[in-house]
Structure 1
Amino acid sequence: MAVAGVHLHVGAGELVGLFGPNGAGKTTLFNLISGSLKPDAGEVVFYGEAITHLPPHVRARKGIARTFQVVQAFGELTVLENVLAAVAHRSLARWLPLGRYDSPARRSVALELLEAVGLASRASERARNLPLGLLKRLEVARSLALQPKLLLLDEPLGGLNVRESEQLLEVLLGLKGRTTMVLVEHNVRMALPVCDRAVAMDAGRVIAEGRPEEVRSDPRVIEAYLGDGDDA
């Protein structure tokens, strides 16, 4: 779905929820912000700098990180090693064998990140053995290892049961203040309460923006969700 005329401002330290039915343009907007897509018109401005024509890896170095709907973890590595690899990626250490970038300083950073997402007790387990709910938390920790100024979370609750979703949202609440976050999520009922601000999209356009409770009750949002008040 193309997006048109979208103006989205995210303040430092905010947790903003981006909601809308299938085909609303949410993932397309994420792709425009992260650099996977180039806009035909308009600009992407990050901390006062126009980054519209910069490739994704340059945007990442400037502080934009992203999680994906499909978890990307190294299954044969331990949970700690997965985060160590991300920590090392910020320096030339990413070119070194695993054993050589496991320095005390990097290990300390990685363990702190695992503590922040509630995975410290699983540090020595192989990532392949983690259930999906914990893999999602691991991906958040790996993204935070890049020290992003902006973290884009693409459907973090996808595939999770209610308890796993609650636990992941608790983790995200605990991370507020560490970085700015924007999340795309279909599970509006669960995700909306943790957001500072909500933005609703439909057919590639923003149709409502404001406090979560205001956006949820907006008639345009309810109509976009086909009047299903349980989902909107």
Structure 2
Amino acid sequence: MATNVAASRLQGTGANALELDDVGRQFGALTALSGISMRIAAGERRAVLGSNGAGKTTLFNTITGDFNPTSGTIRFFGEDITTLAAYERIRRGLRRTYQISQLFTNLTVLESVYLACRGVSRRRFSLLRPSPSDGAMAQAESIVHAVHLDDDRNATVGMLSHGQQRQLEIALALAGAPRFILFDEPAAGLSPTERRDLIEILNALPKHIGYIIIEHDLDVALRVSEYVSMMHNGRLFTEGTPEEIENDPTVQEIYLGGGHG
């Protein structure tokens, strides 16, 4: 059985990437999040699962600063970031992807990744063209390789398949040496072959980069995570290993519709 949230990993340590304490978010009379407390260690790969309306994307938005929680605190590597602007969280190494692609379709793959690397560098306001020794360009080349887009590095983003654009979004999140990434349904709309490629990309990320993945595809989520937090109606209701979550009858009833093949 999956562990009860009240007894799960809530003890603070110096090695946590994210610490959420009693985080809540209201929109007028609507309570989207209530009493969310979790600890995610540096380098940990966590899945946050739940049915539509469970509060998963709202949770991401509070962590990244798209809007602040109405209650509770959020710490990132020990620093209280509850009220920091989103760009300040990015500067501290927090990244995310979105459910809906947000890409510049007229740029090439390499140009897109280069601009992302340049945008978080000290030279981001320079108007000079990149030199052969430009560090941001070297990083961009490495990231393009990491997300399996070598053959499409000079292709225009608008000409990429949906799956390739999702790979590019992961590349953009890797720009500038991130410390932690939030992946918002990266497998949405992917073919079985593209899902296998996504799993390979995520599992091959450097071990020091932790992440949370929101994903409706259980086969993807459970193969790229070490620990799973289940949400329902804006609350955490259980946590456990992928095996515990997959075999938990309450999870199957609420989320999997009675079973998971």
- Give the shorter-chain TM-score range: over 0.9
Alpha-carbon distance between aligned partners in 2 of 1:129 and 1:228, rounded to the nearest angstrom: 40
Greater strand fraction, Structure 1 or Structure 2:
2
- 3-state SS of paired residue (2:198): helix
For 1:63, the equivalent position in structure 2 comes to: 93
**Counterpart of 2:231 in 1: which secondary structure?**
strand
List gaps (5 residues or longer) in structure 1: none
Closer, same or farther: CA 207–176 of 1 in aligned 2, 3 Å: farther
Write the deviation string for residues 68-127 of structure 1: whole angstroms up to 9, x where unpaired.
011122111111000000110012433344x62465322211111111111122111111
8 Å contact kept, 1:17–1:191: yes
Change (3 A) 1:162 1:102: farther
Of the three residues 146, 160, 164, the one matched with 1:130 is 160
RMSD, aligned CA: 1.7
Aligned structure 1 segments of 4 or more residues deviating by more than 3 angstroms = none
Structure 1 counterpart of 2:231, which letter?
M
Taking the aligned partners of 1:38 and 1:168, their CA distance within structure 2 comes to 31
Q: Structure 1 length as normaliser, TM-score?
A: 0.93
Q: Please state how far the C-alpha of 1:143 moved relative to its aligned partner.
A: 1.1
Cα distance in structure 2, aligned partners of 1:100 and 1:196: 42
1:189 CA displacement: 2.5
Query: Which residue of the other structure, out of 206, 224, 227, is the alignment partner of 1:194?
Result: 224
Higher helix share: 1
Q: Percent identity?
A: 38
- How far off its partner does 1:176 sit? 4.4
**TM-score, normalised via structure 2 length:** 0.83
Aligned equivalents of 1:174 and 1:42: distance in 2?
34
Query: Residues 253 and 259 of structure 2 are in contact (CA less than 8 Å); yes or no, is this contact kept in structure 1?
Result: no
Q: Which has the higher contact order (CA 8 A, sep 6+)?
A: 1
The residue that corresponds to 1:110 in the other structure is 140
